[in-house]
């Protein structure tokens, strides 16, 4: 990776190539120290935007729905294009009473009690996948082990038919919707493929919602079909947009965290040994891995009125991005943030966001990451990376798309 430019104004945080050319954590260190409220300059027809990199500033914006809104988009892809067509319908891009009413529709289905049976299936599936990886000896940990676990879990909840056909199809779409595995892909081609993938996901769930209306089922789509807000049933569009959000959110974060935990452990053999020996508990290890990997680098807001952050004026209508991957390494919040510590407590990481939009699937995500940690501890004696990891190409997601490893069985 190349050194950062002396003039930070040359950085473009909207360009995925920035995160391949430079160490993102060096970017965040410089910005936290020199420009914690950073103005990313306009490029061509694309508007500029603000980037917040300090933990306290990010948390303050997350909980402030008076001065900032999600309804014009919550990621750069949509914010820079002028808005999100799902605003007011999809939970992630809805605020105020409508947001709380929609959230209440899902809270029961995503409560720890309701998900207890799902958690057991997650553990069984994870054990099976890790055992299979060990039996293979050398495998692609991303594609052979990790990626089938979260997609199957969220598909179970949404009532997607069992079997590889539909689920592999949706997995391919979710992997294309917000990122690319091809670092040298043409930007316009990648953007077009991403748009097509997002539309294909919507079309798939439009058909599935129609099927649920004909033949009601006891799953999350079934709960949405049966729900009303202020006496008005949720429309097909409401349900389809939220299915899109759930499958994207339910797959990406857990999948990339599971993959990322392997190089994290290998780079910190003392921590892997501590977990293997039982000196680090699963609960603290899960949160530290989530902090360390930070799979969703940012989320976004739009300023509703003029506001000042650290003495810098942000004007009404400005795009503001909140960089979780920087917040999770903030020296003012975390002791030795550049050190993986599976016993770290407290650990107030920003991976699941904060405030009204705190991730609905946080419990499920922690369950999946914990299941992977425990399966590795049980079945794997040694892990060795056998080829250079392939990284995702994205300005939103950080992680590995392909990870060739040799897994030696535990004795």
Region 136-141 average pLDDT: 97
Strands 319-323, 49-52: pairing is parallel
Record the tokens describing residue 139, joined without a space: 């495998």
Name residue 323's beta-bridge partners. 298
Of all helices (H) and strands (E), which one includes residue 295? Answer: none
pLDDT, tens digit, for every residue of 200-235?
A: 999 999 999 999 999 999 899 999 999 999 999 999
pLDDT interval class at 1 (50, 70, 90): confident
* DSSP classification of residue 141: I
Strands 68-69 and 49-52 turn out to be: unpaired
Cβ distance 76 to 298 under 8 Å? yes
Q: Give the whole-number percent of the chain exceeding pLDDT 90.
A: 89
Q: What is the mean pLDDT of the chain?
A: 94
**Residue 182 pLDDT level (bands cut at 50, 70, 90):** low
Least confident segment among 6-20, 65-79, 144-158, 167-181: 167-181
d(CA 221, CA 56): 36
Beta bridge partners of 383: 407
For β-strands 37-40 and 380-385, DSSP reports them as unpaired
β-bridge partners, 303:
68
The predicted pLDDT at position 359 comes to 95
pLDDT given for residue 339 in this prediction: 97
Domain 8-409 falls in which CATH fold? Cytochrome p450 (1.10.630)
What are the residues whose beta carbons fall under 8 Å from the beta carbon of 344, sequence distance 6 or more?
Answer: 284, 287, 288, 291, 334, 335
What is residue 392's DSSP assignment? Answer: P
Q: Which helix (H) or strand (E) holds 99?
A: helix 96-107
d(CA 3, CA 11): 12
Tokens 């000196």 correspond to what residue?
279
What is the model's pLDDT at position 187? 64
pLDDT band with cut points at 50, 70 and 90 for residue 184: low
pLDDT at position 113 is: 85
Q: In the β-sheet with 319-323, what is the strand arrangement from edge to edge?
A: 37-40, 49-52, 319-323, 298-303, 68-69
Whole-structure pTM value = 0.95
Task: Please state, in angstroms and rounded to a whole number, the distance separating the CA atoms of residues 12 and 376.
Answer: 38
Higher pLDDT, 34 or 117: 34
pLDDT of res. 322: 98
pLDDT in tens, 94-113: 999 999 999 999 998 888 88
Tell me the two tokens of residue 21. 């050319």
Separation of first and last alpha carbons in the chain: 38
Per-domain residue ranges of the chain: 8-409
Q: What is the mean pLDDT of residues 374-394?
A: 97
| Helix, strand, coil in percent for the chain, rounding step 5 | 50, 15, 35
């Amino acid at each position: 990776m190349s050194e950062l430019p002396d003039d930070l104004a040359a950085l473009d945080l909207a360009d995925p190539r920035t995160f391949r050319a430079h160490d993102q954590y060096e970017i965040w260190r410089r910005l936290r120290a020199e420009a914690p409220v950073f103005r990313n300059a306009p490029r061509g027809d694309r508007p500029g935007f603000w980037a917040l990199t300090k933990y306290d500033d990010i948390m303050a914006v997350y909980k402030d729905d008076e001065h900032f809104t999600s309804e014009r988009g919550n990621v750069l892809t949509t914010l820079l294009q002028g808005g999100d067509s799902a605003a007011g319908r999809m939970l992630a891009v809805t605020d105020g009473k409508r947001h709380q009413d929609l959230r209440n529709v899902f809270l029961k289905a995503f409560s720890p009690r309701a998900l207890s049976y799902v958690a057991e299936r997650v553990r069984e599936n994870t054990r099976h996948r890790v055992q299979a990886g060990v039996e293979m000896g050398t495998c692609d940990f991303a594609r052979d082990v990790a990626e089938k676990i979260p997609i199957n879990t969220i598909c179970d909840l949404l009532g997607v038919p069992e079997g590889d056909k539909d689920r592999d199809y949706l997995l391919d779409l979710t992997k294309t919707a917000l990122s690319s595995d091809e670092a040298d892909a043409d930007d316009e081609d990648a953007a077009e493929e991403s748009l097509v993938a997002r539309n294909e996901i919507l079309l798939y769930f439009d058909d599935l919602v129609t099927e649920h209306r004909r033949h009601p089922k006891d799953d999350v789509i079934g709960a949405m079909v049966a729900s009303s807000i202020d006496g008005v049933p949720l429309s097909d569009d409401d349900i389809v947009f939220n299915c899109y959000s759930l499958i994207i959110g339910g797959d990406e974060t857990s999948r990339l965290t599971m993959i990322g935990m392997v190089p994290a452990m290998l780079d910190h053999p003392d921590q892997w040994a501590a977990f293997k020996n039982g000196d680090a508990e699963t609960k603290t290890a899960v949160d530290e891995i989530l902090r360390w990997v930070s799979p969703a680098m940012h989320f976004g807001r739009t300023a509703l009125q003029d506001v000042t952050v650290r003495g810098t004026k942000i004007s009404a209508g400005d795009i503001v991005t909140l960089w979780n991957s920087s917040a999770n390494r903030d020296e003012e919040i975390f002791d030795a943030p550049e050190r993986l510590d599976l016993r770290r407590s407290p650990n107030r990481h920003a991976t699941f966001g904060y405030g009204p939009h705190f991730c609905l699937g946080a419990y499920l995500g922690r369950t999946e990451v914990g299941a992977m940690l425990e399966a590795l501890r049980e079945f794997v004696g040694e892990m060795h990376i056998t080829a250079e990891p392939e990284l995702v190409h994205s300005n939103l997601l950080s992680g590995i798309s392909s990870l060739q490893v040799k897994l030696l069985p535990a004795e």
